[in-house]
Copies of this chain bind each other. A is one copy, B any other.
Amino acid sequence: MSLLVVGSIAIDSVETPFGRAENVVGGAATYFALAASFFAPVRMVAAVGDDFPAEVLDDLRTRGVDLAGVERRAGRTLRWSGRYHEDMNVRDTLHLDLGVFADFQPLVPERYRDSAYVFLANIDPRLQASVLEQLYAPGVVGCDTMNHWIAESRPDLERLLERVGILVINDEEARLLSGERNVVRAARRVLQMGPKTLLVKRGEYGVIQFSANSIFAVPAFPLEEVFDPTGAGDCFAGGFMGQLARSGDTSPAGLRRAIVYGSVMASFVVEDFSHRRLQGLTADMIEHRYRQFVSLTDIDGG
């Protein structure tokens, strides 16, 4: 089944304790689409400036990503530069230039409107809502957001959340959204806002899923080197939604397996700068790491 994503495409400059990468591919929708493309056809809604490298778009097309919804406009692509601390759970934004993204108004192409699987990456909740309004009958709606919208656009965000099935945020965002420090209490509050499923991303500690009747926790894959955490959360969402779209299985066990596929994709992308690690990836490598996750978490294994 086709999977639509709306969000940012960016040009990033990143510095980590392991080195730096300048003017590399970034943006939540880009990471999401690359990760999801291993699982299902992806439809993208985004905007780039006239400075965006054509070969990156060509690469996405080669991977089965439909770019009919990617508007190319005069001006600069969104640019972000950031620096990660020694503790790579912490980063500083050094510079942000919204470029053509500043007045982005997502327009869903006619042929995307039947999309059954939708992911609303982190953008203004009013724009996220406008994408939903342009779709006929989105069945599985995933959504991300960030501190900025939680603090500054809460009414818009709360209206949106009533229409979101699966919210994918990090622990800090869950605390801010709920006003609760404890993650279990935070989750209970968030589930009252609309989502049937909450996925809380905890960086190097993995992901914890809450729904009305169950909790599922999966650790992050233990890696000896994390080169660049940028895009980990978006690749998680891409693998997760991609697997749901591929399998059509949104049963409790289907959701859990999708969470593991998301964790697999996140574990790959952090092994190199930008999206480089995804370039050489194969389906076999993804399945191999999935089995490693099974072995990592199986109480009766070892």
How far, in Å, is A181 (CB) from chain B's closest CB? Answer: 7
Residues of chain B with a CB closer than 8 A to A217's CB: 206, 219, 222, 296-297
**Contact of B183 with A222 in the complex, beta carbons under 8 Å:** yes
Contact with B along A183-195 (1 / 0, CB 8 A): 1110010000000
The closest CB in chain B to the CB of A87 belongs to B181
Residues of chain B with a CB closer than 8 A to A179's CB: none
**Contact of A253 with B184 in the complex, beta carbons under 8 Å:** no
Residues of chain B with a CB closer than 8 A to A202's CB: 205
Knowing A182-B224, A224-B182 are in contact, say whether A299-B256 is a contact too (CB < 8 A). Answer: yes
Residues of chain B with a CB closer than 8 A to A297's CB: 216-218, 297, 299
Count this chain's copies in the assembly: 2
Residue from the list B181, B205, B208, B298 in contact with A222, Cβ < 8 A:
B208
Contact with B along A206-235 (1 / 0, CB 8 A): 101000001111110011111000000000
- A299 to B188, alpha carbons, bound, how many Å? 22
Residue from the list B216, B224, B294 in contact with A185, Cβ < 8 A:
B224
**Contact of B255 with A216 in the complex, beta carbons under 8 Å:** no
**Contact of B302 with A251 in the complex, beta carbons under 8 Å:** yes
Residue from the list B182, B216, B295, B300 in contact with A226, Cβ < 8 A:
B182
Chain A stretch 267-302: residues in CB contact (< 8 A) with chain B? 293-302
